[in-house]
Amino acid sequence: MIKFKSVQDFRLRGGKYFMSGISIDCVIFGFHDGQLKVLLLKIANLNGWGLPAGFIYKDEHIDASAKRILCERTGLHDIFLQQFYVFGHPDRCDNNITKIAFENTGIKAPKDNWLLQRFLTIGYYALVNYKAVNATPDFFSEDFDWHDIHNLPMLAMDHNEIVQKALLTLRTHLRYEPVGFNLLPDKFTMPELQKLYETILDQSLDRRNFQRKMLSYGILRRLKQRREGVAHKAPYLYSFDLRKYHKALEEGFQSAW
């Protein structure tokens, strides 16, 4: 991997190593406190938030780029990651971060700088275990934070739109594929799993029907343990049967036409 001495160095020489005109934006979902959250970066000198993003090395598979970007931001490997849409409005970069950064620092940008052109961006969404994330800002950013999906700040460029599209995609996938393994800790209770589904779908579900449906997929294993130290009746703990889980991921749940 190429190292750059500074952001400015990256801005000036990055075009040698990265594809230009196309970037990757990652919508990283986590689940905490009953809320579906998205990891955002605070863009340096801009006082604004944006999605973790990055570029594609000239000889790199785009999926590998996304994985790399995600790993750099979260410290996580082997996470669920999926391409979901390409955003290609010609004006989406009018408020290009680089442009503003150049303006702010007062340095005149080279006219043909690789970052100062129109960029498409490929949206990837990721599902991660909130607690396992060791978030790290990139070098455009001065901070990071998780934000509740229902309470997002104004984001840079078209990033709000990208998050919405990712959420819609996630909701659709939820119906046909197992979700949850990547968003929950190893052991979890049925109410916790249900809360996750309710949060993603933004609707309440019947407790009993939910349990039946989840169990019918045959990807859950009920443990002997129960959740201890909680008020009221202690719920059982469950874990995913990883072999069956991954099989279901490949084949999907519903097959009827």
- CB under 5 to 8 A by kind: which of DNA, its own copies, none does 89 bind? its own copies
Binding segment for its own copies (CB under 8 A), chosen from 17-25, 69-77, 94-102, 232-240, is 17-25
Burial degree of 58 (CB within 10 A; 0-12, 13-18, 19+): exposed
Distances (CA, A) of 108 to 148, 174, 205, 256: 38, 48, 56, 60
Smallest distance from the beta carbon of 138 to DNA, in angstroms?
39
216 near DNA (CB under 7 A): yes
Rg (CA), the chain: 20
Smallest distance from the beta carbon of 55 to its own copies, in angstroms?
11
239 near DNA (CB under 7 A): no
Tell me which of 2, 21, 105, 242 binds its own copies, using CB under 8 A.
21
60 near its own copies (CB under 8 A): yes
209 near DNA (CB under 7 A): yes
Contact yes or no for 119/98 (Cβ under 8 A): no
Residue 205: strand, helix, or coil: coil
CB atoms within 10 A of CB 69: 24
Helix runs in the chain, H state only? 7-13, 62-74, 97-105, 159-176, 190-201, 207-216, 242-251
Cα angle 161, 77, 223 (rounded to 5 degrees) comes to 100
Tell me which of 12, 19, 46, 152 binds its own copies, using CB under 8 A.
19
Count of residues interacting with its own copies (CB under 8 A): 28
Q: How far apart are CA 14 and CA 245, in angstroms?
A: 40
| Near its own copies in 81-140, by CB under 8 A | 83, 85-86, 88-90, 117-118, 120, 122
63 near its own copies (CB under 8 A): yes
Tell me which of 7, 12, 22, 79 binds its own copies, using CB under 8 A.
22
- CB under 5 to 8 A by kind: which of DNA, its own copies, none does 80 bind? none
Smallest distance from the beta carbon of 244 to DNA, in angstroms?
17
